[in-house]
Amino acid sequence: METKRRQPALVDSTSCLCRVDARDKKFIPVTKLCIQSNIIQPSKHNAAATSPATQAQESLLPGLPDDLAIACLVRVPRAEHHKLRHVCKRWQRLLIGNYFYSLRQSLGIAEEWIYIIKRDKDGHISWDAFDPISQQWQTLPPIPVEYSEAVGFGCAVLAGHQLYMFGGKDPVRGSMRRVIYYNARTNKWHRAPDMLRRRHLFGSCVLNNCLYVAGGETQGAEQALKSAEVYDPIKNRWFLISDMSTSMIPFISVVYKGRWFIKGLGPHRQVLSEVYYPEANAWLPVFDGMVSGWRNPCTCLNGMLYALECRDGCKLRVYDGASDSWIKCMDSKLHLGSSRALEAAALFPINGKLCIIRNNMSITLVDVAGAPKKSSNWETLAGYGPIKTFVTNLWSSLAGRRRLQSHIVHCQVLKV
């Protein structure tokens, strides 16, 4: 009798990363593994004893092999993932495992969301997430209480889907060493090892998926720091690195061409600039045209360094290394005003474009790869702008009135 040939797997089963936790290289218990048909094969005895009805109940999608079911579920939009977790326990275990999201990453269907952390007029911290595809705001779990009123804390993204909040100053406890992070895959907050020094109002960046912090204050301006440290998520530890040449309270920093540039106030309130070379673990003062015309906010995209030229974010500048100067790049021809609500609070790349976010929660995308003089390169996703749908316009009016007294502290992009 001819043996029935098994259907080949429709997804790459060798890319499953759920068995090893990249943070501390510990094996995850079997109960926490993601469910994939060829990860754990049932024994012949158990397979023979299982009835067809039971097999149908245990399958991810009735009538389909698990490989094909995963190939379907992995293409569900990210905004619907929270609903999938409530369907059954197998779907829940699948969506909290690394395999599901590593597969989305390898297929090129992972989605980038914008996370905005803001402070209201009473000093309370809250945050929102914006989905650029559906152009809708998404609900998030509340920020942990230790950062509900903190000031001067840092914020960065590691591994593309983990948002870290670290350091800062609590109104009661003073400067903190605490580190927490939000995992966008599980939609939960977690603790990480504390920093080595208490600090707030410091500079931070991410290099080679490691978190760097430098400078800042401890308990006052008279105790400014020049120390620096780095967090390695693989070793799950903080390490000291070389000190800066002088103590500094940074107010702007950026990673450009593999080096970390910092600009801030020195011990005598003078403006200083330094650059860190990670391969040499060394700091050097910098005085070139880049830092002299450097303004915040700024970011890098495709190896180019961009900054906003006006307060409302209607003009862009780019740094020209050949002439060692900043030159005008693009102008939207739409000047919004100079109020605090219209002030551009963040500039960062997303989906190959530059994203500008203002304190009134308006979001603008700029296609810097297109023709520089085309107004169509500027696209308003949410908030005030010339072209909006009725729903977006209604939300913008409500959001603008409610958030007019708040200002944005940090903005990050998480990809899941």
pLDDT tens digits, residue range 11-53? 333 333 343 344 444 434 433 444 443 333 344 444 444 445 4
- Identify the three-state secondary structure at position 204: strand
Q: What is the mean pLDDT of the chain?
A: 83
What's the one-letter identity of residue 276?
Y
Tell me what the mean pLDDT of segment 242-256 comes to: 95
Report pLDDT for 75. 96
Whether the per-residue pLDDT at 276 is higher than 50: the answer is yes
Domain 141-287 falls in which CATH fold?
Neuraminidase (2.120.10)
Q: What percent of the chain has pLDDT over 70?
A: 78
Tell me what the mean pLDDT of segment 229-236 comes to: 98
What's the one-letter identity of residue 380?
T
**What residues does each domain of the chain span?**
13-106, 113-137+288-411, 141-287
Whether the per-residue pLDDT at 246 is higher than 50: the answer is yes
Tell me what the mean pLDDT of segment 321-350 comes to: 88
Distance CA 331, CA 175 (A): 41
Tell me what the mean pLDDT of segment 253-266 comes to: 96
User: Which conformational region is residue 332 in: left (phi greater than 0), alpha (psi within -120 to 50 degrees), or beta?
Assistant: alpha
Q: Which residues pair with 272 in a beta bridge?
A: 264
- Identify the three-state secondary structure at position 115: strand
Q: In 3D, which of 253, 287, 250 has the Cα closest to residue 266?
A: 250
- Cβ distance 281 to 242 under 8 Å? yes
Q: How many CB atoms lie within 10 A of CB 2?
A: 4
Tell me what the mean pLDDT of segment 96-101 comes to: 91
110-142 pLDDT, tens digit each: 999 999 999 999 999 999 999 999 999 998 999
**Preceding omega of 52 cis (within 30 degrees of 0):** no
Give me the helix-helix angle, 98-106 and 66-73, nearest 10°: 70
Phi, psi of 233 (to 5 degrees): -70, -25
Report pLDDT for 26. 44
What's the one-letter identity of residue 248?
M
Distances (CA, A) of 225 to 89, 208, 279, 414: 50, 24, 23, 30
Burial class (CB in 10 A: 0-12, 13-18, 19+), 264: buried
Give this prediction's pTM: 0.82
Burial class (CB in 10 A: 0-12, 13-18, 19+), 185: buried
Report pLDDT for 376. 66
Whether the per-residue pLDDT at 397 is higher than 50: the answer is no
